């Protein structure tokens, strides 16, 4: 048996290999359920029944899927440009910090408060990602390492703020800030925690960035840079400029997700693990499944939202371990990574 490289894998091959990887991941996760003493068919049935069988389940899927959509959209473009941003978790937290600072300490009129929070959150997340882009272009530092490490800096920055200068006046026991004023809180869909402005923003960004990627000069430069940086330089494209733009977009999108979490759900700044349930890492799967197409995140983000919301159902209804969704996500990601060899190579048997 040997592998023969495929110069340009057809879309059909990419689709069926990706689908095969997902099925394989479901089988492996089912085996894990079985080893944990749970019938895998009952587990999957409980996940679906608790998420897609009624409106309350779908509301939870949308709540979990909205930040995944925003972050995933940005990551699709970043990965397409060969800027491997693993720091969306920290960028989300910086967006939340910026939004919290604006909501708590700026005397803006009510009509300007929420738009300013979104702009501030996007800028904070984007500038946080720019740090890794600068280190990559100036000092050749691997962006995977820098973005990953910056997650911890953002985490401890937030903890310092809510445990120090931004700590709520009447906090006892737990650490968090004061509540945001009413006009700094996002409206939600009826009887849910789904901030509809954030959801609408995610949908518009998916459509807009898909147009940017496929129809604009900037999108052409991004595609060429990602496929062959040397050819891009030969064609007069500034590769560094493309990377900076992608850093701002991917970090800014994560920052918007952070604004949505604190303004739409929590209405205050909390400990990092309460603001984000690992959305920055889970969104890597959303982007990978989308295969560099922001519009496909409209499908892949709700899919991962079902898995996250379904994981909560399994924890409560079937008494499975707290980290079961992390295991699920990890199996899916490893399956997708392993499947790349079958996307880019054809298997041949014999000599």
In this prediction, residue 262 carries a pLDDT of 97
In this prediction, residue 35 carries a pLDDT of 86
Span of 26-30, 75-79, 171-175 with lowest mean pLDDT: 171-175
Between these two residues, 348 and 102, which has the higher pLDDT value? 102
CB 250 within 8 A of CB 88: yes
Q: Alpha-carbon distance 280 to 287, whole Å?
A: 11
Q: Alpha-carbon distance 312 to 50, whole Å?
A: 9
pLDDT over 90 percentage in the chain = 69
Residue 131 pLDDT exceeds 80: yes
- In this structure, what are the phi and psi dihedrals at residue 195, rounded to the nearest 5 degrees? -75, 105
Residue 276 pLDDT exceeds 80: yes
Q: Alpha-carbon distance 313 to 307, whole Å?
A: 10
In this prediction, residue 170 carries a pLDDT of 79
pLDDT over 70 percentage in the chain = 99
Residue 59 pLDDT exceeds 90: yes
In this prediction, residue 350 carries a pLDDT of 62
Mean residue pLDDT across the chain: 91
DSSP assignments along 273-335, one per residue: HHH-SSHHHHHHHHHHHHTT-GGGHHHHHHHHHHHHHHHHHHHHHS---TTHHHHHHHHHHHH
Residue 324 pLDDT exceeds 80: no
CB 242 within 8 A of CB 69: no
H/E stretch holding 45: helix 40-51
Residue recorded with tokens 């992608």: 246
In this prediction, residue 64 carries a pLDDT of 94
Cα pseudo-dihedral 181, 184, 188, 194, rounded to 10 = -110
Residue 332 pLDDT exceeds 80: yes
In this prediction, residue 108 carries a pLDDT of 94
Between these two residues, 62 and 15, which has the higher pLDDT value? 62
pLDDT digits (tens, 9 = 90+) for 135-155: 999 999 999 999 999 999 999
pLDDT digits (tens, 9 = 90+) for 71-111: 999 999 999 999 999 999 999 999 999 999 999 999 999 99
Q: How confident is the model at residue 328 (pLDDT cuts 50, 70, 90)?
A: confident
Q: Would you give the end-to-end CA distance of the chain in angstroms?
A: 8
The angle subtended at Cα 69 by Cα 232 and Cα 56, nearest 5°, is 170
Single out the residue of 276, 280, 284 nearest to residue 88, CA to CA. 280
Domain positions in the chain are 67-292
Residue 53 pLDDT exceeds 90: no
Q: Alpha-carbon distance 184 to 179, whole Å?
A: 10
pLDDT digits (tens, 9 = 90+) for 285-303: 999 999 889 999 999 999 9
b (16+ CB within 10 A) / e for 248-272: bbbbbbbbbbbbbbbbbbbbbbbeb
In this prediction, residue 12 carries a pLDDT of 86
Residue 224 pLDDT exceeds 90: yes
Q: How confident is the model at residue 173 (pLDDT cuts 50, 70, 90)?
A: confident
In this prediction, residue 38 carries a pLDDT of 85
Between these two residues, 5 and 114, which has the higher pLDDT value? 114
For 132, the token pair is 């890794």
CB 319 within 8 A of CB 334: no
Residue 7 pLDDT exceeds 80: no
Per-residue pLDDT, averaged over 216-224, amounts to 93
Residue 130 pLDDT exceeds 80: yes
């Amino acid at each position: 048996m040997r592998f023969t490289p495929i110069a340009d894998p057809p879309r059909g091959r990419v689709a069926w290999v990706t689908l095969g990887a997902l099925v394989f991941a479901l089988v492996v996760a089912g085996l894990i359920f079985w080893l944990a003493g749970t019938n895998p068919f009952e587990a999957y049935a409980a996940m679906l029944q608790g998420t897609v069988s009624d409106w309350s389940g779908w509301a939870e899927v949308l709540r979990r899927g909205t930040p995944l959509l925003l972050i995933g959209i940005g990551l699709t473009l970043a990965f397409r440009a060969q800027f491997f941003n693993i720091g969306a978790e920290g960028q989300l937290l910086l967006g939340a910090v910026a939004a919290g600072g604006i909501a708590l300490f700026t005397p803006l009129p009510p009509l300007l408060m929420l738009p300013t929070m979104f702009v501030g959150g996007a800028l904070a997340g984007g500038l946080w990602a720019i740090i890794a882009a600068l280190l990559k272009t100036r000092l050749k530092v691997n962006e995977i390492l820098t973005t990953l490490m910056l997650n911890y800096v953002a985490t401890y920055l937030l903890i310092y703020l809510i445990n120090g200068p931004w700590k709520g006046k009447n906090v006892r026991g737990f650490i968090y800030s004061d509540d945001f004023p009413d006009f700094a809180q996002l409206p939600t869909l009826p009887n849910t925690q789904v901030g509809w402005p954030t959801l609408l923003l995610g949908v518009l960004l998916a459509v807009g960035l898909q147009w940017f990627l496929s129809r604009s000069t900037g999108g052409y430069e991004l595609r060429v840079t990602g496929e062959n940086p040397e050819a891009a330089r030969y064609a007069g494209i500034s590769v560094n400029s493309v990377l900076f733009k992608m850093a701002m977009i991917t970090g800014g999108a994560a920052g918007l997700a952070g604004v949505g979490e604190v303004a739409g759900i929590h209405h205050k700044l909390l400990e990092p693990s309460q603001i984000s349930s690992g959305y920055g890492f889970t969104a890597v799967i959303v982007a990978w499944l989308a295969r560099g197409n922001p519009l496909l995140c409209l499908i892949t983000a709700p899919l991962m939202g079902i898995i996250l919301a379904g994981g909560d159902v399994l924890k409560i209804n079937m008494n499975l371990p707290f980290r079961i969704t992390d295991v699920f996500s990890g199996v899916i990601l490893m399956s997708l990574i392993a499947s790349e060899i079958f996307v880019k190579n054809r298997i041949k048997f014999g000599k």
